[in-house]
Amino acid sequence: MLDEIDLEGGNIFIVDKPLGWTSFDAVKKIRNALRIKRVGHAGTLDPLATGILIVCSGRKTKMVDQLMASVKEYKGTLKLGETTPSFDAETDPDQTYPTDHIRMEDLVLATKQFLGPISQIPPIYSAITVNGQRLYKLAREGSDYVPEPRQVEIFDFLITAVRFPFVNFTVRCSKGTYIRSLANDFGKAVGSGAYLTALRRTSSGDYKISDATSMDSIIAHIKLSKEKLTNQPTVDLVVEG
């Protein structure tokens, strides 16, 4: 159920981001529909990821930092035996690795290595800014820059299904965690390689994927609400004296 549009007070939109869209694509779409400048999101989702993207407008943009700090849950799939420069399917595999030695118990044991606070190196194919430049632009230019490691926390990391070489998993983690980097590091932990092939954010703080709405429905709701506001009948004020 979508709330009524409040152009002055602002809104929080729980978007089910479609595959192929950047987070900014969703922000721009909502910004253009509302025709206001103050619109932002609370936590980037990569173009190849789907699921919950929280977009705030108007005065509710003051809540972005608070919402961004919440615990996130993801469901994803990684492929063992290969790596890619982007750590996901955005780029083609660049190296292959042996997988014959990997057993189910090895996968489960490897997940435990990542529980708790960990140091993680973000992918160079990311929106992080360094000296005024986005890392993904440096990557596309062939730069060998290595991002600085960051501290994140993994609360749960569960293997949910294995269809070798594909592994399905669920992760609950802190803000700033790159699941692509986790997939890449997981491949190393089992003595092989791995990259992320699918990812869906299923919760962000108190918001669940069942609370999310498609972009088309949100835009249609905004347009309908604005039409209602525009077409409200005026009432003449009569003063009796």
Domain ranges of the chain: 12-69+205-230, 72-204
Question: Has 185 been annotated as catalytic?
Answer: no
What pLDDT is recorded for position 8? 79
Please report the sign of the dihedral spanned by the C-alpha atoms of residue 184, residue 189, residue 193, residue 195.
negative
Catalytic residue among 16, 46, 88, 185: 46
70-96 pLDDT, tens digit per residue, is: 999 999 999 999 999 999 999 999 999
If you compute the radius of gyration of the chain from its CA atoms, what whole number of angstroms results?
Answer: 21
Sorted by sequence, the CB contacts under 8 Å of residue 73 that are 6+ apart come out as 170, 171, 172, 173, 201, 202, 203, 204
Q: Are the beta carbons of 135 and 125 closer than 8 angstroms?
A: yes
167 pLDDT higher than 50: yes
**Which of 124 and 193 is assigned the larger pLDDT?**
193
What pLDDT is recorded for position 5? 87
Q: At 205, which helix (H) or strand (E)?
A: none
pTM, entire model: 0.88
235 pLDDT higher than 60: no
In CATH terms, are 12-69+205-230 and 72-204 the same topology? yes
Structure tokens at 117: 């606070």
Which band of pLDDT confidence, cut at 50, 70 and 90, is reported for residue 140? confident
Sorted by sequence, the CB contacts under 8 Å of residue 202 that are 6+ apart come out as 51, 52, 73, 74, 75, 208, 209
| Rounded average pLDDT over 188-204 | 98
Please state the CATH superfamily assignment of the domain spanning residues 12-69+205-230 in this structure. Pseudouridine synthase (3.30.2350.10)
CATH 3.30.2350.10 assigned to domain 72-204? The reply is yes
33-67 pLDDT, tens digit per residue, is: 999 999 999 999 999 999 999 999 999 999 999 99
Q: What is the DSSP string of 97-136?
A: ---TT--HHHHHHHHHTTSEEEEEPPPSSS--EETTEEHH
